[in-house]
Amino acid sequence: MKVVKKGDKYVVADTQTTGLLIDQNGKIKGQCMPTSNRNQKRVVKKIVNKKTGKSKMAYPYKWQHQPKDTNILYPKNEMKRIKGVHNEISFADRVKELEKDPRFAPLVRKIQKKFAGKLKMSDRPDFKWVPISLVVIDLDIQRDIIIDHLFEILENFHPWRISPVFAVKDPGVEKYHACDGQHNTTAQMVLYAAKIWADMTGEEILVPVWYVETPDRAFARDLFTFVNGKGRRNVDDYTMVRNDLYKIRIDGKTELEDPDAWENHLKVSAIEKNNGTLVKKTDTENRGLAGAYTNVAAILERTKP
């Protein structure tokens, strides 16, 4: 920490922390605010050891983090959680929540009119473990393979993360045209070809496939667009960081088990220690309150654990 003086205020330079300067009697002598000005006059003195020639800084005050002002309304911090305590809701209760939205009832009436007598449970996709030789990548539908993405999957591979292939099956023929999942499935094939699966003794690898049986290849193109963009909502920075923190704070993962999540945990802890709170950009109730940070990527990039 570098403490400097600016006018009648004490300032901490080259850090992101704020706090108070407390003397030996516990009295507040000034407030430290963050700054990047390296040219300000230092208020500390150097004490030189004549024998060793080494110096140290002598300063009459000690550092203490800025306490929360009870008169200020701070954001709700959903990242502060208790280990082993999970927040859950049933799908039935989720629908009850939706019923409170004034847009919900008109939408349901619209869907009822659109699908009256047409929607059948039997029309949902089927699931099957399929020999990988029967699954093909339709080059007219799928995009080119992204090598870096494939390498990332391989480097972080875990069998529990395998996702099913979304495919269209030719009627009456055991042939499945993959509309999504080529990177995950290619990774499994790489591991199979390299004989890395410990329990494989020569038989063909099976892959999980969700499929619809139809000759309509146009549907396959629509399905690719839906699962890769139009129908999928990308995970925002806030949710990714929140999940990292929950792995540490709720699930009890250690630094050794998940170093990336642990680093984010330390960074957010530093922010919280200085009365800061990460808040969703869409959280209109909390984003304007004191200490709220909505630009998650930027604040974490500048924060040191």
Q: Could you read off the pLDDT of 151-176 as tens digits, one per residue? A: 999 998 999 988 899 888 988 899 99
b/e code 34-72 from CB counts within 10 Å (16+ = b): eeeeeeeeebeeeeeeeeeeeeeeeeebeeeeeeeeeee
All CATH 3.90.1530.10 domain ranges in the chain, comma separated? 125-230
Which residues have CB under 8 Å from 296's CB, separation 6+? 236, 237, 238, 241, 278
Q: Which has more pLDDT, 220 or 46?
A: 220
20 pLDDT above the threshold of 70: no
Q: Is 221 exposed, middle or buried (0-12, 13-18, 19+ CB in 10 A)?
A: middle
85: confidence class by pLDDT, cuts 50, 70, 90: confident
Specify the CATH number of the domain 125-230: 3.90.1530.10
41 pLDDT above the threshold of 70: no
Question: Does residue 209 contact residue 168 with C-beta atoms inside 8 Å?
Answer: no
Q: What is the model's pTM?
A: 0.56
